[in-house]
Structure 1
């Protein structure tokens, strides 16, 4: 009888103790695995690895950033891990998981500054890898890397919202985009212009989605002109006419139109002057950007009205075009937009 009890006891599954994920770079095949449980374990290990940073002994009380060589090696592995993910659902899930890492990294110091530094370091590694590996992406894989870029742009906006759109945070992200060799640089002609073009295509869409989130809506207003600074700089300094045209058609023209439509007095005046040029899109185009943005260098509790946002954007475009580093052709084009949009009239509008 005791033996039977013993056998019955052995047949029971022993409880599995929850263990902390190992802080290590997971294998690419684990990250791209079709089994979600395997992918989740790999992502958890990667979060722990990134949260630990360069402190391999776990002794530092603050975050120690990975050096550039280590970050490049890490992202080369992640880049080609994503390369090997062939099934659409796995691609979408992995793109979302990799982008979400920006918000999951949490150094043990629990310092908000350390947490943001760790996230920004990983973001910089992402864009560096995109620029470095872009020329090798074949046509069949291009769409999935466009998807990954979209996920990272969205996660970046949510990261900035978590930081309450503070000036230093916005400047840090803008520096990554516009630095020499960055995806939106105007100085390094080795960087493919298709990267900046795609960022322009998705920027307003992803910002509008972010500002529509309940947890973001209740926070400080987004400093719209500061967020658009990389695009404004590139618009006036690029030596490639197609980039200038793309920025106008994807960012500035639709945004100015949205702000015009939201400014009733300006909209009535413009419709009377050029009714054929009114957009076929709904008046709510980029509604959350219009409703939850402000003029200034960082987030504010007060939202700015559409007229003030429009005036501030036109003024900043004019200032950037006036800079000595602006291209002469770009300067003329921006001045023309400024005149057509009534920049000299709007500049004196007060922010309500």
Structure 2
């Protein structure tokens, strides 16, 4: 009987085949095997999923026809909600983001659209997974950790700009597909935390445009949020000592939009220790003091 390691390697080789039929048959067998094994506690290790994703990525790379691509994307993303244990599904999601970040720069422009579609579907099915878990707090917090450590990490050494921007663009729209949403404020934490820490103005502009600007009354109702809750979340990010200064001003600006109360002005520091300010002496006073010192030395 084959060991799990050898079986995964065989799956990966078959998925990388140039023959469409071979890839299709392998994908069906792989789906059945993964779903069955996901019922076992600690059924998969991170390394095992990384090996599988290497083969799945290559399979996605080889699929050229639009209908074939869409069917494959639905199959890969659908595994998230087919798995019998949320911890296995979340491990599958984490290793997906690791793989896509590693391979992103090797994707040519002709293949970008199908990988953008894969990113969107994986994110959408992730929210579906949370919904199926009845918005279980432990599952939600693990998902948030995966997103903050992966695609919405402010350190671009752990993700890529292309992945980050696309996830931000579809984040709220995919979340709304699972409305009504419980724990909406927590699920907004990854993009808001990125807004507090990013050094890239393109990223901060994307967060404002794709996340904050779409939070109108209807959207807030679907997310079961109040404007004050969003304002409080923005204020919490703004007063964090690790928040970049220029981003703090941006957070306060949008804090005012959602708050019925007056937020502290951007330059107030909101409780942060303020640096001492020294008055700059005029050049005239400095010259007079120098002359007095010279006269004192001559007298001595």
TM-score range, shorter chain: 0.7 to 0.9
Deviations 1:240-275 (A, max 9, x none): 1111111001111121xx12xxxxxxxxxxxxxxxx
1:183 maps to which of 142, 151, 171: 151
Partner of 1:170: 140
- Aligned partners of 1:30 and 1:165: how far apart in 2? 39
Match of 1:124 in 2: 94
The alpha-carbon deviation at position 337 of structure 1 amounts to 1.9
The answer to whether structure 1 residue 205 and structure 2 residue 173 are counterparts is: yes
Equivalent residues in 2 for 1:1-352, closer than 5 Å: 25=11, 27-28=14-15, 33=20, 39=24, 41-53=25-37, 62-106=40-84, 115-179=85-149, 182-189=150-157, 191-211=159-179, 221-255=181-215, 258-259=216-217, 287=218, 289-295=219-225, 309-344=226-261
Alignment partners' CA distance in 2, 1:207 and 1:34: 35
Residues 299-327 of structure 1: CA deviation (Å, up to 9, x unaligned): xxxxxxxxxx2110111011112111111
Shift of 1:53: 4.5
Q: Is the 8 A contact 2:176 2:223 kept in 1?
A: no
Query: What is the SS of the residue equivalent to 2:169?
Result: helix
Whether contact under 8 Å (1:237, 1:327) holds in the other structure is yes
Deviation of 1:163 (Å): 0.6
Q: CA deviation at 1:233?
A: 0.4
RMSD between aligned residues: 2.7
Q: Indicate the residue corresponding to 1:266 in structure 2.
A: none
**Structure 1 residues 25 and 188, CA gap change in structure 2 (3 angstroms):** same
How far is 1:119 from its partner?
A: 0.7
Runs (5+) with no aligned partner, structure 1? 1-21, 55-60, 107-114, 212-216, 260-286, 296-308, 347-352
- C-alpha contact 2:227 2:259 (8 A) present in aligned 1: no
**1-side partners of 2:234 and 2:18: how far apart?**
43
User: What TM-score, normalized to structure 1?
Assistant: 0.66
Per-residue deviation, residues 207-228 of structure 1 (Å, max 9, x unmatched):
22232xxxxx5xxx42211111
TM-score (norm 2): 0.77
**1:197/1:246 contact within 8 Å kept:** yes
Q: Write the distance in 2 (CA, Å) between the matches of 1:87 and 1:247.
A: 33
CA distance in 2, matches of 1:67, 1:236: 33
